[in-house]
Amino acid sequence: MTTIRDVAEKAGVATMTVSRVINDSGYVSEETRAKVEAAILELGYVPNMLGPSLRFNQTKTLALIITDITNPFWTTVARGAEDAAREEQYNVILCNTDESAEKQDQYVDMLLKRRTDGILLVPASDSPEAVKLMRSQDVAVVILDRRLSDVDSIDSVRSDSFGGAYTLARHLTDLGHEHIAILSGPRNISTSVERVEGFTQAMLDAGLPHNLERVFWGEYNESIGFDSAWRALRQEPRPTALLAANNFIANGALRALAQAGLTVPADVSIVSFDDFPENINPSPFLTVVAQPAYEMGYRAAQLLLARLAGNGSEDFQEIILPTTLVMRKSTAPPKSAGVWTASSVL
């Protein structure tokens, strides 16, 4: 391996002079510079960042710990974080936990050992342990997407889960739906909880009873989405509308509806959190509340980088981004409502 010493020797100068040429720092005569550059080229010298990293305890590396790399929502977040990092010459290590707290803790451990400068964390559980550990070392941390109940005074970026769920539920109640089931994520993840709360509030505001049996806790994946929907559709009276707490749950629900021989929206309406980008879904059909995924990643990384540069604000920041309702073709007034109206007219 070629080192800075080899280059110095070949160019007949000291290592410091080579360092000055590489980093464009300090004074170097044109003549010397040319000699050094020739030597670098000839030897194919590539500087070793590990030296400075060790010396200055700065790796120019961020990590993004997400819960599901197969979900386009998260890869979009990753793109945002990546773009922000690139602007400051930082690189991003992407870590995928599959919603496993154990995997998450393994990653955190590894990242600390590598002296990663900052970590963007989507917590796989509500436990504050990981954050406490990171804080005890000198890593900058931004919590992404989810809230941690036992941690305060921490930078965080998420979108408005309560508001998004309220909007979706309100859309359904406005259409006349009274029997609505929510297919949510885990009980111990703040986004799931807040989406259930938004749903509940909308039901109450519409003067409808809040029935706990219409709340299906589960996980943010297709398979559990299918199960939850399947159970919901066997309730009496059958729900006339479903609210899925994320895109994969919605897909599971769609599969359940198809398997049950029910048509959307004629038999059952369905709405969901999270949109799929057009390149992935060429004929979008679901009415959804879209989260600003790219912006979430971008803003979170920016916040982290500001901390690392020492020019963040004094106080911790809590950034909550708005969601956007995208109306499409998966909702209609409930059949029963129509029937009931007609018969009541007679």
Partner DNA sequence: TTGTATGCGTTATCAC
Partner DNA sequence: GTGATAACGCATACAA
Residues of this chain that bind a second copy (CB under 8 A): 1, 44, 46-51, 53-54, 57, 59, 69-72, 75-76, 78-79, 82, 91, 93-94, 96, 109-110, 112-115, 136-138, 221-223, 248, 251-252, 254-255, 258, 276-283
**Piece in contact with DNA (CB under 7 A), picked from 4-12, 122-130, 285-293, 337-345:** 4-12
Which residue from 233, 335, 248 is spatially nearest to 286, judged by alpha carbons?
248
Contact between 50 and DNA (CB under 7 A)? Answer: yes
The minimum distance between CB 315 and a second copy, in angstroms, equals 25
Contact between 259 and DNA (CB under 7 A)? Answer: no
Contact between 111 and DNA (CB under 7 A)? Answer: no
Distances (CA, A) of 254 to 71, 136, 148, 227, 260: 17, 45, 31, 11, 10
Cα-Cα end-to-end distance for the chain: 91
Amino acid letter for position 230: W
The minimum distance between CB 24 and DNA, in angstroms, equals 11
Which of residues 25 and 136 has its CB atom nearest to DNA in the complex? 25
Q: What angle separates helix 293-309 from helix 72-87, to the nearest 10 degrees?
A: 30
Which helix (H) or strand (E) element contains residue 92? strand 91-96
Q: In which residue are the tokens 């979706």 written?
A: 168
| Cβ contact 171:287 at 8 Å | yes
Which helix (H) or strand (E) element contains residue 303? helix 293-309
Provide CB contacts within 8 A for 242, sequence distance 6+.
Answer: 180, 181, 182, 183, 229, 232, 253, 268, 269, 270, 271
Which of residues 132 and 210 has its CB atom nearest to a second copy in the complex? 132
Which residue from 81, 113, 79 is spatially nearest to 305, judged by alpha carbons?
81
| Residue 19 interacting entry, from DNA, a second copy, none, C-beta within 5 to 8 Å by type | DNA
Contact between 89 and DNA (CB under 7 A)? Answer: no
Choose, by CB under 7 A, the member of 34, 41, 42, 48 that binds DNA: 48
Choose, by CB under 7 A, the member of 9, 10, 14, 142 that binds DNA: 14
Which of residues 282 and 310 has its CB atom nearest to a second copy in the complex? 282
Which of residues 25 and 263 has its CB atom nearest to DNA in the complex? 25
Chain positions contacting DNA, by CB under 7 A: 1, 3-5, 12-17, 19-20, 22-23, 25-29, 31-32, 47-48, 50-52, 54-55, 57
